[in-house]
Chains A and B, each alone.
Chain A
Amino acid sequence: MNPLRALVLAFGLGFVVLLFRTPKDPRPAVRYLATGVLVAAAAAVVSPFLWLVAAAFKDRSVLNEHVFFPPLGDWSSATLNLDNFRRLFQGDASLTGKVYFSQYVLNSLCVASLSTVLQVLLCSLAGYAFAKYSFAGKGLLLTFMLGTMMIPGVLLFAPVYDMVVRFGFVDSYAALILPGVVTPYGIFLFRQAILSVPNEMIDAGRIDGASEFSIYLKLVMPLVRPLTAAFCLVCFLGSWNAFFGPSVYLHAQQKLTLPVVLNMYLGVYGSDQGVFLAGTLLAIVPPALLFFALEKEFVSGLATGAVKG
């Protein structure tokens, strides 16, 4: 018997008790079970992060001595401190002077937010076209689009690099944003989302004399806010955590984004894992903030009520 097994057993007992308390009405027991499952799932998912938190604060000398936190008796400023963060913030030399952590954060924010905003605009436009219009070549284009989603990106990397160089985008954010700004993934998502919008509403808008674009903007888009929010999150994260593209395309130190800089600490001949993990811990904050901001969107749903009208 160990703590984990005892916990599971205690939980099971609680469920059985609830079940027997109101035998005709299983609802409290089910709710208890549901809560339990959710909490267990959340705990299972979050516990690996313990390692991250511990490693970010551990002093380099004890980083490898204890897998997670040092035993309580050993907690002191020699074993747990902000040293990793200090080294993270001390700045890197470059041709144009010292570059600090804040610059990398700014760069990542810029690329991620620009990329997301553009993707939302362009993918939703195209998705709307595919969902609510019929035009020559639509079926073919849709199949083609779906098909291109299945091409492994690794394969296309060399020719895309070639194009980017030809256009002179190397070492610029255009190289990071442009190739991925309109993706079949995004178009497909918005198409599926907009398919649920009733056609009557769109027709009503046309009868009222609204332009096609304003129907899209003012009538349709508000109805798919939850999925737009989900898509925003996905795009932002994809760009925020992107490593391979930026590390190949960006040259100047001051243009680098967070993942590129952080991975530098994992060298082949000797890594500074503590600093890497401290940086990773900090890098979680902006996406988490975005997540909270989007929470309201998930709730709003069909708040406009237009569907019923």
Chain B
Amino acid sequence: MNKRLVPYLFIAPYLALTVVFTIYPLLNAAVLAFYQTNGPASRTFVGIDNFRFLLGDPSFHRALTNTTVFTAASVVLVLPLAMGLAVLLHGRKGRARGFLRLLLFSPNLVGGIFVGILFAVLFTPRYGLMNRALHALFGWGLEERFLGNPALVMPAIVVTALWVSVGFNMIYFLAALQGVDKTLEEAARIDGANRLQVFRYVTLPSMRHVVGFVLVTTVISSFQLFELPLALLASTDGKGPDNSGLTLITYLYDVGFNTGDLGLGSAIGWIVAALIFGVSMIQLKLSGLAREQA
């Protein structure tokens, strides 16, 4: 078998399926961004009017702010927490580890809709677990309407997302920790490094490919936050009071499917894609995590 053909063979299934299920729809959406659609049937060409409108649209700005805040919070909170828990868990042995791991991962065993319903109950003023726990620990928050106060909606969403994603990313970090060469770590310790230094100079670099993966995918999925606010803020269709829970994708959904202008929705989609692309490229360049050298 000609060795040069082999890589192409290996990616052939991906290419075939992508052309059908990604490229064609993408072209469709690309074209659509310059149109205005009216429900399922008609469409009219409007040039860059959709983009011009979005530039000045306060709802879009709000969605952009909310989503950026959420993404930043995700990266800054979720990743260190997940890494921390992974490291703590890595040091344990046997039954305890397996059990704790399952517990910490358990939020991911259920679907997004359930998470939304669950946390809507947990944030109920007076009766909800969150309110009661905060009140017991800090003496504040019993009557607070977390999902009804514009300033508290985003923190509530972040906490809900944290509940799910810390355990999730912890699994990846745990798997990566397994793959670190122990002899290197021991060598460093023999050379006199303390645990923190070993972690920083030996362990972490060995994990960098996975860390890079987690970082990029966290950014991407955070920018595409959709199902969670929709389920959590069901009474306002995912937007929250004063659009405080509006994310780029829930805005896309509202504009494209509730109002019926898929053209404007596509325009939003493209802006989101461009944003994520820009941020990810910057991330990857700065950290060099996508480079191939082992």
Contacts and interface: CB of A to CB of B under 8 A. Distances in A.
Interface stretch (A15-23, A80-88, A285-293): A285-293
B79 to A, nearest CB: 15
B113 A263 contact: yes
Nearest to A199: B294
Interface stretch (A70-78, A97-105, A225-233): A225-233
Given A67-B127, A148-B18, A148-B26, 10 more contacts: A146-B277, A151-B273, A152-B226, A152-B248, A155-B25, A160-B21, A163-B25, A195-B294, A226-B178, A288-B102
Interface in B166-181: 167-168, 171-172, 174-176, 178-179, 181
Contacts of B137: 4-5, 8
Interface in B273-287: 273, 276-277, 280
Given A51-B121, A135-B7, A155-B252, A150 B276 contact: yes
A2 B109 contact: no
| Binding site secondary structure of chain B | helix
B6 A125 contact: no
Contact of B10 (A126, A147, A280): A126
Interface in A209-259: 211-212, 216, 224, 226-227, 229-230, 233-234, 237, 241-243, 259
Given A8-B137, A284-B109, A48 B277 contact: no
B21 A179 contact: yes
Interface of B: 1, 3-4, 6-8, 10-11, 13-14, 17-18, 20-22, 24-26, 28-29, 85, 88-89, 91-92, 98, 100-114, 117-119, 121-122, 124, 127-129, 133, 136-137, 163, 167-168, 171-172, 174-176, 178-179, 181, 183, 206, 209-210, 212-213, 216-217, 220, 223-224, 226, 248-249, 252-253, 256, 262, 265-266, 269, 272-273, 276-277, 280, 292, 294
A299 interface: yes
Contact of A151 (B1, B26, B163): B26
Top 3 nearest A-B pairs by Cβ distance? A241-B111, A159-B25, A150-B276
Contacts, number: 235
A67 B122 CA distance: 10
Nearest to A130: B11
A3 B133 CA distance: 11
Contacts of A227: 172, 175-176, 179, 210
A158 to B, nearest CB: 7
Contact of B21 (A3, A52, A178, A242): A178
Contact of A188 (B98, B176, B213): B213
A302 interface: yes
A179 B292 CA distance: 29
Contacts of B128: 67
Contact of A126 (B11, B104, B217): B11
Contacts of B206: 196
Contacts of A110: none
Contact of A182 (B18, B113, B216): B18
